[in-house]
Homo-oligomer: A and B are copies of this chain.
């Protein structure tokens, strides 16, 4: 079943509009998991170290699906062991996450000494 994404955009600015869609603490973490792992199940998302709660995860998965950034992959039947993958639209966020990661590694280390260096 396909719901349509209902987003209200604050302005015509592409930065603000991007944040209208992705500007929360969890959406890009879900995208990150799918960039790193290609494919994830509900419980695999839950096992990430950040500790997203079940209702928030379900809400984000729904919203990101509605936006066309991720799709559900039915592996073995209707509700068991299904998984999510990125669409091209979602995969196109990779440069955004890469730049954010680079910035954080350099500029958050003082506040967060054991932040990971990827690569």
Q: How extensive is the interface on chain A, given as a class?
A: 35 or more
- A108 on the B face (CB < 8 A): yes
Contact A10 B49 (CB under 8 A): yes
Top 7 A-B pairs, shortest CB-CB distance? A14-B104, A18-B104, A11-B49, A10-B50, A14-B101, A23-B25, A96-B99
Give me 19 A-to-B residue pairs in the complex whose CB atoms sit less than 8 angstroms apart, sorted by A's number: A7-B111, A10-B49, A10-B50, A12-B49, A12-B112, A12-B115, A13-B29, A14-B117, A16-B29, A18-B104, A19-B29, A21-B108, A23-B28, A24-B24, A92-B103, A95-B99, A95-B102, A96-B99, A96-B103
A82-119 interface bits toward B, Cβ cutoff 8 Å, 1 = contact, 0 = none: 00000001001101111111111111100110111110
